[in-house]
Amino acid sequence: MKSQTFADGGVMSKKGEEEQLKHRLSMIEDDIEAIREFIKDKGLEDTFEKNTSYGESANTSLNNIEIACDINDEESLRWGIGSSKNELQQLKHRLLMIQDDLNVIKEFIKNNGLEDIFEEKTSYSDSANTHINNIEIASDICDDEALSWKKFSKKFADGGLMADGGQFDYGFTIRGMNETLRSKFPDSFGFSVYPLDNNYTAGTLKRGETQSYKGLSDADVKSKLYFPQYKRDHEINYHIKQGGENTYFDFLLEDENGKGYVGTFGFKDQGDVPASYITGFIAFLQEAYGLPFTIEHTVK
């Protein structure tokens, strides 16, 4: 496990490590619940009663993961070779057992031609495979990504795309965001919205065409907009473009139905803009996407 330190430079305590491992189990439990719901919604319950290559049903492996996540259930501590004595060892043992069953489920999905259907959206994420990947990440004690995750708080079906953390959980209008940004960042060009190019793939961000060079209006979009956080690891996506005189930020947005848009914010920049102005907007975006940070250094 990567070594963890506190602000005073101290090494992560045993109790602190135990809490991190419990957090991992909580995140895995959350994803298993989402997978269970997905299987039910897609009518795959009978399929998951089929045997895996290990002679038991795939549903048994899902049950095993749920059992291992329940720290009040000691059944999983008797699985495998040997016994785990202290709580720290027991928590690590639970994660190892989860990894074993996850590998069985992944093999079952592949062998039964379920790979395409697991690319479909769930109530909480853009694909069921995201939940599989989340479990893989959270059960790997050498990967610290899951330590910053939070439990899912809203579903697509509930009309909300946001996880805990963002300051715009309930969405915003184009006009409202324009007023917010002009207030926070004076002397800017303001805020505009464009359709997301149809060729969008993760990691890219390209504006689609509009009839007006000023972009879309609230009447065009007919929905509040959101900074997408429906995936627990968030989809932070923004690009910075610096030309001869201007600087622009393009960033990913979505409407209530998950349709993508490009938000853009710009200002005149001839090398005379304070660094705090630029880093301040980056901090604003990070907070809006649900992973805030505080600027405590000098940018030169």
Residue 289 is predicted with a pLDDT of 80
> Rounded distance, CA 82 to CA 96, Å?
13
Q: pLDDT of 147-177, one tens digit each? A: 877 776 545 444 443 334 456 767 889 999 9
pLDDT digits (tens, 9 = 90+) for 208-236: 888 777 899 999 999 889 887 655 555 67
b/e code 238-268 from CB counts within 10 Å (16+ = b): beeeeeeeebbbbbbbbbbeeebbbbbbbbe
Tens-place pLDDT, residues 235-255: 678 888 887 788 899 998 988
Longest alpha-carbon distance in the chain: 69
Q: Which whole number is the average pLDDT over 28-43?
A: 94
Residues facing residue 267 across a β-bridge: 188, 247
CA 279 to chain centre: 23
Render pLDDT for 52-98 as a digit per residue (tens, 0 to 9). 999 999 999 999 999 999 999 989 888 876 555 788 899 999 999 99
Locate the domains of the chain by residue range.
Answer: 14-148, 174-288
User: So what's the pLDDT on residue 211?
Assistant: 74
Question: What pLDDT is attached to residue 156?
Answer: 44
Give pLDDT, residue 202. Answer: 60
pLDDT of residue 51: 96
Tokens linked to 86: 């202290």
pLDDT over threshold 50, residue 33? yes
Residues 147, 39: Cα–Cα separation, whole Å? 27
Residue-wise pLDDT for 117-152, tens only, equals: 999 988 777 789 989 999 999 999 998 888 877 776
Q: Which residue reads 């946001």 in tokens?
A: 162
The pLDDT of residue 10 is above 60: no
Please, which pLDDT band fits residue 2 given cuts at 50, 70 and 90?
very low
Does residue 295 register a pLDDT over 70? Answer: no
Q: Which residues, 6+ apart, have CB-to-CB distance to 72 below 8 Å? A: none
Task: Report the pLDDT value the prediction gives residue 298, as an integer from 0 to 100.
Answer: 55
Choose among 224, 210, 101, 120: nearest CA to 162: 224
Identify the residue with better confidence: 44 or 273. Answer: 44
Give pLDDT, residue 121: 84
Is residue 263's pLDDT more than 90? yes
Report which residue type is found at 254.
E
- Given a cut of 90, whether residue 190 has pLDDT beyond it is no
Distance from C-alpha of 9 to C-alpha of 249, rounded to nearest angstrom: 36
Residue 229 and residue 235: Cα distance in Å, rounded? 6
**SS3 for 82?**
coil
